[in-house]
Structure 1
Amino acid sequence: MHALPQPAPSRAGLALAGKRALVTGGGSGIGLACARALSGAGAEVTVLGRREGPLRTAVAAGAARDAIIADIAGALPTLPACDILLHAAGAAESAPFLESDDALWQRMLSVNLLGAAAAMRAVLPGMLAAGEGRIVAIASTAALKGYAYVTAYAAAKHGLLGLVRALAQEVAGKGVTVNAICPGFAETPMTEESIARITAKTGRGEAEARAALARHNPQGRLVRPEEVAAAALFLCLPEAAAVNGAAIPVAGGEV
């Protein structure tokens, strides 16, 4: 007996079928994991980022249907209408406070705070007109506590969380929710860059530097991007309509 070919699974029964999602920083790390999760739930995903190669790879792998090449810290092009904005673009630089010059501060604020505000400002009118929408910002445990040698980054992430909480109050009752996910150190290219900086400045080996970051997590490990994406996906579901202005740590109990 020969098995009959099975039809391709329908997306109609998926939780986010028919929803349009825009993921900034969607070419790698947490952004890519979020794009995969949203696409897997049925959303039509567009990824946005600076590097064309990773974005095209994400599209080719089925994590997204389209890509926009743009720098979130610069002038954004006209963004497509969307039901979901997942803002995962970010960058971290470390230096002692007295060695953090104006240029470093401007880079951290532009990428981690002002870029988020620009993206939210671009898509929010459409969400309000539709009477529904989800905005999820990937912040950091550095939005909830201080870390030495990353004052500019921590200040920008604290600002991002303030933006989320304030905007959530403005849109409450209008069908739109605004929330933040606050991951600890995760298995991402940005963490790899941090490890490289630690080894370069201290002479410690890569394994030792990685272990030093993992010790911030009471579970003794780095967070997986898929764990962050699972929390972000929940916030985009209809069942999360009452969650607004939240800051959800995904950090193994660090905060």
Structure 2
Amino acid sequence: MDHGSAALRGLPALVTGGGSGIGLACARALSAAGAEVTVLGRREAPLRAAVEAGAASGFVLGDVAGELPPLPRCALLVNAAGAAESAPFLRTDDALWGRMLGVNLLGAAAVIRAVLPGMLGTGHGRIVNIASTAAVKGYPYVTAYAAAKHGLLGLTRALALEVAGRGVTVNCLCPGFTETEIVAESVARIMAKTGRGEAEARAELTRHNPQGRLVQPEEVAAAVVFLCLPEAAAVNGVALPVAGGEA
């Protein structure tokens, strides 16, 4: 099985949230595997930097939770755009719920609706939704985020069955706490609320992982590449954890 530069040669790919974190790592890995990657995001500077660094061939500026711009045809879609906010449940208002559902669930659905007709037309497509361990278990103080990620997994499982006979697979990756801007923000919040130092705050997150560490974005990206390979055609509708054994 070739994971090198020819594995996905010439296949057009779209990565949402592709300017940073897991999305950028996915764009880089897919480009290394030969795909022609377009990154989508809200901030032009990191998207342009991704292209200049060779992680992508081009970019589209847009917000998945808003009105989508025209999207290029793609055979591979990675929905990596996401956001996390924490609050006790009784302090979560409609606006917070709207933000969490908008980015993490409805935004992914909107992008899929835009590109799926092209995949069905060619009889080939790979859709990989980046969820979270919060798609398969609960964590306190992130009810809206967890509900949105559970919804993303439900979307994945249902759509996978709907398109199973038409050459398209739909899968979900469920990373544990990953070394990204979102986790850095979580560490800062823990420090601010508890007065703990950075090492103690990070330990609060790494304790969830039996390996005692944060997942690296490149580890998630490697799983994305696998799910996009021709040899992964029988992998459909799964929730694949990348979490060091966290249950």
TM bracket (short chain): over 0.9
Separation in 2 of the partners of 1:67 and 1:78? 12
Partner of 2:159: 167
CA contact (8 A) 2:5 2:33 kept: no
User: Which has the larger Rg?
Assistant: 1
What letter is aligned with 1:105? W
Separation in 2 of the partners of 1:87 and 1:13? 22
After superposition, give the CA deviation of every residue in 1:193-249 in whole Å (9 maximum; x if it has no partner): 111111111111111111110010000000000000001110000000000000100
Partner of 2:197: 205
Separation in 1 of the partners of 2:62 and 2:188? 26
Separation in 1 of the partners of 2:192 and 2:5? 50
After superposition, give the CA deviation of every residue in 1:78-119 in whole Å (9 maximum; x if it has no partner): 110000000100000000000001100000000000000000
Separation in 2 of the partners of 1:250 and 1:243? 16
- Answering whether residue 247 of structure 2 is matched by residue 252 of structure 1, we say no
Separation in 2 of the partners of 1:51 and 1:199? 27
* Distance 1:139-1:61 versus aligned 2 partners, 3 A rule: same
Deviation, structure 1 residue 13: 6.4
Partner of 1:74: 66
* Distance 1:149-1:13 versus aligned 2 partners, 3 A rule: closer
* Distance 1:82-1:197 versus aligned 2 partners, 3 A rule: same
Mapping 1:78-117, distance limit 5 Å: 78-117=70-109
Deviation, structure 1 residue 26: 0.4
- Answering whether residue 217 of structure 2 is matched by residue 235 of structure 1, we say no
Mapping 1:30-179, distance limit 5 Å: 30-179=22-171
Partner of 1:9: none
Partner of 1:185: 177
Q: State how many pairs are aligned.
A: 244
Separation in 2 of the partners of 1:200 and 1:66? 38
Deviation, structure 1 residue 29: 0.5
Separation in 2 of the partners of 1:51 and 1:17? 28
Separation in 1 of the partners of 2:55 and 2:69? 22
Separation in 1 of the partners of 2:31 and 2:122? 21
Q: What is the DSSP-based 3-state SS (H/G/I as helix, E as strand, rest coil) of the residue aligned with 2:129?
A: strand
Please report the TM-score for the alignment, with normalisation by the length of structure 1.
0.95
Deviation, structure 1 residue 165: 0.4
Query: Which blocks of at least 5 consecutive residues in structure 1 are unaligned?
Result: 1-11
Separation in 2 of the partners of 1:205 and 1:25? 30
Query: Which blocks of at least 5 consecutive residues in structure 2 are unaligned?
Result: none
Deviation, structure 1 residue 184: 0.2
Separation in 1 of the partners of 2:57 and 2:231? 25
Shift >3 Å, 4+ stretches: none
Partner of 2:188: 196
